[in-house]
Amino acid sequence: MGEIFKISHKLLDSLPTSIVFTDIHSRILYVNPQAESFFGYRRDEIIGQRLRLLFFEEDLLFLYPNILYLTIYRSGFDGEVLLRQKDGRRLFVHLCTTSFKEDGEIFLTFAFQKIQRQKDLEHEKLKLQRWVGLGRMVEEIVHQFRRPLSSIGGFTQRLLQADPLPSRTRSSLRRIGNEAKRLEALLKGLEEYAELPTPVFHPESLEAVVRDAIAHFSKTMAPPGIPIRLDTRGLSGDGKFFVDRKLIQKALLQVFANGLEAIRRKSQGRAKAAIDVILRDDGEIIEISVRDRGIGISKKHRDLVFEPFFSTDAQRVGLGLTLVQKIMEEHGGRISIESRPNRGTRVHLFFPKDRRRKLRRESIFPPSLRQKEY
């Protein structure tokens, strides 16, 4: 393999990092002991094999040759990849590659470091942040409960002391009922937020997901005369994205409900009482845009709409958009809002079309190199 391998053999064997050397055709020439234990292969099982042995089948079309191309013809690859151990288990690693010349031959170097522990720590951090956010919400609940509970107690005392009951009894009972409903809605919203499940991602049809949400909303929540109109003209791609279908539909139902309430609160004729849903797919980003022509949101309130319990309507709990934002964050997406008072609101939901990086989805090889055998 050349003098450089003979001289550095002991050094390479002692490194804590897993090292693999290949020739330009990705045929494995050397693995250090750390790489043996890392992937579960003995040296005699892996020497002479192609590096593709360490990649999953779905990554052999694009990711694997793209990494080789970057290693041979560019400055190398430096990033996270999912690899395969001998027993088929998945191994999430940080891979750093480079190439060098010796005696006119090109050799490739692959250095692997396990990063699952780092990912576990990041996951724990996200869970902690979630619970911290929940703690803040619980504190706010105490504040939110104080007012309705005080009203319930006060009105109840008045009813108990009255003999005979005065004519205001009916009105007082209505107030008690309204406050009780508010408490129930608040608890329901809190439960939805606190018990939001971790997303389970599957490839889904954007149009099918949205149509199902519209059908459910129209059947169970939307009154007659307020249609939801779907515009699919922006679907230039295949309209597929990786999401948790149930969670996305939950988010859409909440956005639709907000639009419906905004329309109801606007004091004008119902000629423009409709909710428009516009879908876009540009090949990289999926967008769902929901537009109403309702009461709108003032500029001073626009930055507060995602805050837990914020609402300009005293009868509403103010957890809907907080829930939608959480669902979007867990999908790696984002939400933005445009609104003008008395002109309406447009809610934009943006999703990465494919949660995999482009390196795993498309070839970066120049056409002249795509027939090479690796």
Q: What is the pLDDT of residues 282-310, one digit of tens each?
A: 777 889 999 998 888 888 777 778 776 66
With respect to residue 367, please indicate whether it lies within any of the assigned structural domains: no
Q: Are residues 76 and 217 in the same domain?
A: no
Spatial CA neighbour of 340 closest among 296, 277, 288: 296
Q: Are residues 65 and 100 in the same domain?
A: yes
CA dist 61 and 78 (Å) reads 19
With respect to residue 370, please indicate whether it lies within any of the assigned structural domains: no
Q: Which of 39-43, 83-87, 100-104, 236-240 has the lowest mean pLDDT?
A: 236-240
With respect to residue 83, please indicate whether it lies within any of the assigned structural domains: yes
pLDDT at 271: 46
Q: Are residues 103 and 132 in the same domain?
A: no
CA dist 353 and 279 (Å) reads 13
pLDDT at 5: 52
Please identify, among 195, 211, 232, the residue that sits at the C-terminal boundary of a domain: 195
With respect to residue 55, please indicate whether it lies within any of the assigned structural domains: yes
Q: Are residues 126 and 188 in the same domain?
A: yes
With respect to residue 41, please indicate whether it lies within any of the assigned structural domains: yes
Q: Are residues 187 and 243 in the same domain?
A: no
pLDDT top residue among 373 and 89: 89
Please check whether residue 232 is in contact with residue 209, taking contact to mean a CB–CB distance below 8 angstroms.
Answer: no
With respect to residue 374, please indicate whether it lies within any of the assigned structural domains: no
SS3 content of the chain, % helix, strand, coil (to 5): 45, 25, 30
Please identify, among 114, 146, 164, the residue that sits at the C-terminal boundary of a domain: 114
Burial 94-117, CB ≥16 within 10 A → b, else e: ebbbebeeeeeeebbbbbbeebee
Radius of gyration over alpha carbons of the chain, in Å?
29
Q: Are residues 314 and 259 in the same domain?
A: yes
With respect to residue 270, please indicate whether it lies within any of the assigned structural domains: yes
Tens digit of pLDDT for each residue in 101-159? 888 899 999 999 876 555 555 555 565 566 556 656 666 665 677 677 677 777 777 77
pLDDT over 70, % of the chain: 74
Please identify, among 80, 114, 148, the residue that sits at the C-terminal boundary of a domain: 114
Q: Are residues 73 and 208 in the same domain?
A: no
Spatial CA neighbour of 265 closest among 226, 304, 207: 226
Ordered alpha helix ranges (H), 223-286? 245-265
Tens digit of pLDDT for each residue in 106-116? 999 999 987 65
Q: Are residues 60 and 132 in the same domain?
A: no
CA dist 256 and 246 (Å) reads 15
Q: Are residues 188 and 204 in the same domain?
A: no
Q: For the domain that residue 357 is a member of, what is the CATH number?
A: 3.30.565.10
Q: Are residues 238 and 264 in the same domain?
A: yes
Instruction: Give the chain's domain count.
Output: 3
With respect to residue 20, please indicate whether it lies within any of the assigned structural domains: yes
Q: Which of 27-36, 37-46, 224-233, 268-277 has the lowest mean pLDDT?
A: 268-277
Q: For the domain that residue 57 is a member of, what is the CATH number?
A: 3.30.450.20
Q: Are residues 101 and 68 in the same domain?
A: yes
Domain enclosing residue 154, as ranges: 116-195
Q: Say what the pTM is.
A: 0.56
Please check whether residue 59 is in contact with residue 74, taking contact to mean a CB–CB distance below 8 angstroms.
Answer: no
Q: Are residues 212 and 316 in the same domain?
A: yes
